[in-house]
Structure 1
Amino acid sequence: MSHRHYKTLWMSDLHLGNRDCKAEHLLNFLNNVSVDTLYLVGDIIDMWEMTRQFRWPDAHNQVVKKILSLSESGTRVIYLPGNHDAPVQSYTGMALGDIEIARHCIHTTAAGKRYVVLHGDQFDDEVTLGQFHAWLGDKAYDLLLFVNRWYNRYRVWRKREYWSLAGYIKQHIRSANLAIARYRQACCNYAKAHALDGIICGHIHHPEQRYLNGIHYINDGDWVENCTALAEDEHGNLSLIHYLTTDSVQNTPANQVHSSKAA
């Protein structure tokens, strides 16, 4: 990819330390961008997975070094820990080196639009149907990633590009779609209650942006299934970047905020 500069970049759900993290793709992406402000929107290091089986390949280490290098060379880095890196939440309001730690924050775009930025696990109680439902969903997702991993090994053997089978299956499961809809609604309710233009989050590994009752909902996706990020240019335009596809950018011009009420 050619080198690009962004005013702001949001990335979440890297899940470094997890075998399904696409660290090589992520490193290549980071090596080809420069950015004024970088938001790390939670689940950056998968501490859950690492307590079960410690795994830290060199590519994962190189991603951390790259982020540290960005923070030391003038990029403002804000880390908003999620549920898989929950221990970092205890450092909220502090800084680790040049990296700021926050549970949530407000970002104002170059166009003057205000978005709350947070991981999204804050809404788990509104989205899930109790602890058993959450456990079942976690185990089912692990199975999807297992199938996805072996399917893409087959695609590599056939000299084909990566394709998220897990994402495709998830989109065709009614209960998953209902959970995504509940999550989206909870996020928008929060933004509306705080008189904001929108919300930028991660957590559910489902990149998208849309308007819901005048609130701009943006999920920046993940680097486990989709390899996506959200970017802002100098004019406040927001673009959802799909790193692995040729149709790589979904744009939302800054002047469209509040212009649509699509559900």
Structure 2
Amino acid sequence: MKKKREIPLVVLSDIHLGTYGCHAKELLHYLKSINPKTLVLNGDIIDIWSFTKSYFPAAHMNVLRQILKMSNQGTRVIYITGNHDEALRKYSDLILGNFELVDKLILELDGKKTWIFHGDVFDSSTKGYAKIIAKLGGKGYDLLILINSLINWFLVLLGKEKRSYSKMIKDSVKKAVSFVSNFETTAAEIAIQKNYSYVVCGHIHKPQMKEIANENGKVLYLNSGDWIENLTALEYKKKKWSIYQYKKEEYIGNDNKDEDIINDIVTKILSED
């Protein structure tokens, strides 16, 4: 097994554990490959909107176990609430050992103020009646992810490129229900007003790292993406930010113990009369 990468700060968001679209197995590979000093979970980690007892696979539970293991081994884990896990907001400012639960976070990284929050505050589709509609739509999005996965499976068999129909449709829906004209610009403008050097968001499932400037100053805007389609994280090391994107080939031959256990169970069940 490869030596774990030492990283001062890692930011993850929009994992959506408990949904069909979550790439929990891939995320577990990534988490086992790093040793961050601080791990920030920037919202929508557990999808409480879509949570049901009937669907929370072992792979999803293993992600939570790995995060707890990292916390027990010395990693500072900061869970920032998002809109899909907003039920946790009533417990904000909870501290248990190396684990913290907050609604937003301000860090100082090498002398630079960093503002980290999920970003749903800018999105009207998570407020009021629109929020109820969005919750109902979340079930449909899960189904869409499943259909999209089947289509892509056939496309791969035919030697063609995968297509993200679910992303195209969700983007269209977002435009229809949201009054936010420009998420990135809004976040950046407020960060500039507050004299932050970095502003880090999630929520919109679009990994990004770019400098945004206006007449009052400039800020580096960052978005950690998601683990539904992009499979990305933000890493801060040696005074620099980077966007990490999961690549399956990097983990070939790594620990497949969970998969082996599942295969053994399935084989045992099938062999019984």
Q: TM-score range by the shorter chain?
A: 0.7 to 0.9
Per the alignment, residue 148 of structure 1 pairs with 148
Deviations, residues 44-94 of structure 1 (Å, cap 9, x unaligned)? 10111115x641111111100000000000100100010111111111111
Q: 1:162 to 1:201 in 2, by over 3 A?
A: farther
Measured in 1, the distance between the counterparts of 2:126 and 2:82 equals: 16
2:234–2:242: 8 Å Cα contact kept in structure 1?
Answer: yes
Q: Which amino acid aligns with 2:113?
A: R
Per the alignment, residue 79 of structure 1 pairs with 79
Deviations, residues 126-160 of structure 1 (Å, cap 9, x unaligned)? x789845983797398165344322233356x297
Larger Rg: 2
Correspondence 1:244 to 2:247: yes
Residues 196-211 of structure 1: matches in 2 within 5 Å? 196-211=196-211
Q: 1:101 to 1:243 in 2, by over 3 A?
A: same
Deviation at 1:123, TM superposition (A): 1.3
Question: What SS class does the counterpart of residue 243 from structure 2 fall into?
Answer: strand
TM-score by length of 2: 0.76
Measured in 2, the distance between the counterparts of 1:89 and 1:212 equals: 30
Correspondence 1:60 to 2:64: no
Per the alignment, residue 189 of structure 2 pairs with 189
Measured in 1, the distance between the counterparts of 2:57 and 2:243 equals: 28
Residues 80-119 of structure 1: matches in 2 within 5 Å? 80-96=80-96, 98-110=98-110, 112-119=111-118
Percent identity at matched positions?
A: 32
Question: What SS class does the counterpart of residue 66 from structure 1 fall into?
Answer: helix
Measured in 1, the distance between the counterparts of 2:160 and 2:105 equals: 37
Per the alignment, residue 9 of structure 2 pairs with 8
2:9–2:236: 8 Å Cα contact kept in structure 1?
Answer: yes
Aligned length: 241
Deviation at 1:216, TM superposition (A): 1.2
Question: What SS class does the counterpart of residue 182 from structure 2 fall into?
Answer: helix
Q: 1:44 to 1:96 in 2, by over 3 A?
A: farther
Per the alignment, residue 232 of structure 2 pairs with 228
Per the alignment, residue 264 of structure 2 pairs with none
Deviation at 1:198, TM superposition (A): 2.3
2:42–2:116: 8 Å Cα contact kept in structure 1?
Answer: yes
TM-score by length of 1: 0.79
Deviation at 1:211, TM superposition (A): 1.6
Q: What do you get for the CA RMSD once the two structures are aligned?
A: 3.3
Q: 1:37 to 1:175 in 2, by over 3 A?
A: closer
Unaligned 5+ runs, structure 2: 250-273
